[in-house]
Amino acid sequence: MASKVIQAFYNDDDVLMHAVKKVKAAKHHIEEVYCPFPVHGLDKAMGLEPTRIAITSFMYGCVGLTVAIVMMNFIMIEDWPQDIGGKPSFSYIENMPAFVPIMFELTVFFAAHLMVITFYLRSRLWPFKEAENPDLRTTDDHFLMEIEIHDNEAELMSLLSDTGAVEINVSEKDLH
């Protein structure tokens, strides 16, 4: 199934931010904005919800810390206790100060790697996936705002031309 969308091109990120605010103030829904680089504040201007990736990062860090504690307790205390530098191997608590670097490293390792994997899966990015940007100029020097048309094409064309769009196109977009 396909729907008609208006694609407005901009060549400056400040003009794009002004245009997004103007379109949102006119109560239109912006489907997507394609940018060649991250634009600070664009997500807030579009009204997008804050990301929850920090929460998952914290949970992944807790998993890493747990793995580190269980692993070190098993390896250094239960399975093969060794007297290294005069440190006693009677209990985990007595050796914990020596294990702090390992706990820190595994916490960071798990948080970083699992957070990246979660980001790729959530964004539906995987190896050999083709790009979904509608115009190659959005990877170089242009910004594109995409708005779905609901019997308001003339109104949107007028609004977008007033916002400083350098080019406005109407095209069909496949809905996945």
Domain assignments of the chain as residue spans, ordered by start: 2-50+141-174, 53-122
Which DSSP helix (H) or strand (E) runs through 31?
strand 30-34
pLDDT of residue 175: 62
User: Bridge-partner residues for 144, per DSSP?
Assistant: 9, 34
DSSP state for residue 175 in the 8-state scheme: -
pLDDT of residue 113: 97
pTM of the model: 0.71
Residue 9 · residue 143 · CB < 8 Å: yes
3-state secondary structure 113-149: HHHHHHHHHHCCCCCCCCCCCCCHHHHCCCEEEEEEC
Which residue intervals of the chain are DSSP H helices?
A: 13-25, 42-46, 53-72, 92-122, 153-162
CATH label, 2-50+141-174, candidates 1.20.1280.290, 3.30.1120.130, 1.10.3720.10, 3.30.70.120? 3.30.70.120
Residue 161 · residue 168 · CB < 8 Å: yes
User: Bridge-partner residues for 8, per DSSP?
Assistant: 145, 168
pLDDT of residue 111: 97
pLDDT of residue 94: 79
Segments in the chain below pLDDT 70: 1-2, 87-88, 175-176
d(CA 164, CA 125): 32
d(CA 145, CA 5): 10
pLDDT of residue 176: 58
pLDDT of residue 2: 63
pLDDT tens digits for range 10-27:
999 999 999 999 999 999
